[in-house]
Amino acid sequence: MQQAFERQAHALLGLRGKHIVTIGGGAGPFALLSALKKHDCSITAIVTMADSGGSSRRLMDEYGTLPVGDLRQALVALSRKGVLWREVFTYRFKDGREGKDGQEHGGQEHGGQAHGEQEAPEPPSLGGHSLGNLIITALQEINHGNLLHAIEDAQQLLDTAGAVLPVTLQPATLCAELADGSVIVSETNIDTRGARTPESAGPLAPITRIYLEQAPVEACEDALRAIRRADVIVIGPGSLYTSILANFVVEGVAEAVRASEARKVYVCNLMTNRGETGGYRASDFVREVHRYLGDRVDRVVAHDGVFPARLVERYAADGQHPVAPDLEQLRELTPEVVVDSLLAVYQGALLRHDAERLLRAIFTPAEYLS
């Protein structure tokens, strides 16, 4: 216990006054950003813009906007406004188009449309939409389509402890080429491939590379500026290809990270994801990060591999398995490897990184780790 307190104190010293840049997307960085905002440091969250599903997809189709779901999650994580505003931005509308009997409203009482009548177009529904996504989209319209100004307004509403930036301001459709030569188009299709194909169907062809369909897609200049001025760059945690590496296939991002004088830290996932990282050990994650970055990171942070047995079984049913921290291989790949107990269980069933322990693992100076 005393050692943990000492590490926490040294980690706080490593944080104070520093400019921390996180690179990721999805739910992965949420705990890290939520913990960082409590400390005396400058924070910039750079977020992938490859999201192509759910509420973001519908808003993209209806309004021609870029996806805002990952931006919203980062904004909420950094919010200091209080529970109410966070709940407002995370609220998701239920599908109100179905009546109590399961039938959609608006049809004829006995069998729907009468003969000879033209079917009226169905009005857009709020069902399934995130209120936060709608607010950001509205702010973008108020700002004449300027997404950066919309984010600034959202930051003001939420009183965020740092800045949130899109990795690009251009459309970015993520594609994955598989070992069998086939190609999967869109982040959602890549991310859900394993869920759509049961393990009983056998192994899936692994991903050999990812790229952007519209390449080259240029990086947001504000994001590159933040990377250049960072003291520490934290990559992850998050889905390897769809949330993390999707940032590095944007023109200029990998180059900016390589050129930055910041310390680079990669946080390895807790679990694999069937169809994306099935069978990967920690060293496999790191090799892929190095491949797309074009350089090695300064530190890798990984969980020690201990999980509650009941949750391992539950995740295994979805084709997800613990990431093995293969220390020997990790130490060959990067100068510093920190393996610690980093697991937290949320709502009794969700495996996440423990935020404060993760901060210690990322920011404690090497001389205080032993």
Residue 11 pLDDT: 64
Chain centroid offset of residue 31 CA: 11
Three-class SS of 37-98 = CCCCCEEEEEECCCCCCHHHHHHHHHHCCCCCHHHHHHHHHHECCCHHHHHHHHCECCCCCE
As averages over each run of 10 residues, the pLDDT of the chain (370 residues) reads: 62 82 90 92 95 54 70 93 83 61 37 45 58 90 95 95 96 94 93 81 90 94 98 95 96 98 97 93 98 98 91 90 96 96 88 92 83
Q: Which CATH class is domain 2-47+168-368?
A: alpha beta
Residue 112 pLDDT: 41
Q: Are 207 and 243 in contact (CB under 8 A)?
A: no
In the numeric block, which tokens belong to residue 87?
């709940």
Residue 103 pLDDT: 37
Residue 252 pLDDT: 97
Q: Are 125 and 118 in contact (CB under 8 A)?
A: no
Q: Are 303 and 266 in contact (CB under 8 A)?
A: no
Pairing between strand 183-185 and 207-212? unpaired
pTM of the model: 0.87
Residue 105 pLDDT: 36
Measure the CA–CA gap between 190 and 163, rounded to whole angstroms. Answer: 29
- For the stretch 279-302, pLDDT in tens is 999 999 999 999 999 999 999 999
Those residues with Cβ within 8 angstroms of residue 366's Cβ, 6 or more apart along the chain or in another chain:
299, 336
In the numeric block, which tokens belong to residue 141?
């319209």
Determine phi and psi for 365, rounding to 5 degrees.
-60, 150
- For the stretch 84-125, pLDDT in tens is 888 888 887 776 544 444 333 333 333 344 444 445 445 456
